[in-house]
Amino acid sequence: MTLVAILSGAGISTDSGIPDYRGPKGLWRRDPGAEKLVTYDSYMTDPDIRRRSWRVRGESRTLRARPNAAHEAVTELERSGTAVRVITQNVDGLHQLAGMPARKVLELHGTARAIACTRCHARSSMKEALDRVAAGEDDPRCRVCGGILKSATVMFGERLDPEVLAGALAITKACEVFIAVGTTLQVQPAAALAGLAADHGARLIVVNAEPTPYDDRADEIIREPIGTALPTLLKRYHRS
């Protein structure tokens, strides 16, 4: 059975109303200061950064977003009987909301739908934390130990979860088809997965509006809008 690995980046979720980061209209280009909000050292040492982070989380479209045609196409591929694994750089949880089994989705950068204590590592829902912020706590602390809370995402300056990364590497080496969709392939180590897949003989397909550093390794490059291009592409690999 053909194993299809899909590496998804921010571009797959823009049709859901979530802006990307590094594109021409990306968040980092519009507001370079926003990067501090997701930088671990800044977040841990500056209460003002944390308070702003909580306000931004409360205003974020991420938790209100719904899956789009591209997310649904991935789920349809899995339901057709094809072996599919998703390796995502996104923290929005939209692949799972679209119906992909959680065990088949590896979230390299964590999830924005949960929070974690930086001291005792207790986890709870982001909604619960945002309800506390709405009730007047501008920098809520862990109810277990009083530690600083953060979203359960991997901030700049933090390591990826080694188990998640190991799973991503194993899938990348084993797949016959590797599709990089909506990612600039600039953030390591996720970006290197594209080259690793090609090294191990996978057909590498890049679906992205802008050129990537791995285009010269790709067997196929698709520049059309992801919402229409990805469903068309994935139909090739349906088992039924």
Amino acid residing at 204: L
| 109 tagged catalytic | yes
- 71, 95, 109, 121: which is the annotated catalytic residue? 109
Closest by Cα among 41, 11, 25, 56 to 208: 11
Q: What gap in Å lies between CA 111 and CA 195, rounded to an integer?
A: 25
Query: DSSP letters along the chain, please?
Result: --EEEEEE-GGGSGGGT---SSSTT-HHHH-GGGGGGGBHHHHHH-HHHHHHHHHHHHH-SGGG----HHHHHHHHHHHTT-EEEEEE---S-HHHHTT--GGGEEETTEEEEEEEETTT--EEEHHHHHHHHHTT-SS-B-TTT-PBEEEEE--BTSPPPHHHHHHHHHHHHH-SEEEEES--S-STTTTHHHHHHHHTTPEEEEE-SS--TTGGG-SEEE-S-HHHHHHHHHHTT---
149 DSSP β-pair partners: 117
The catalytic residue positions are 109
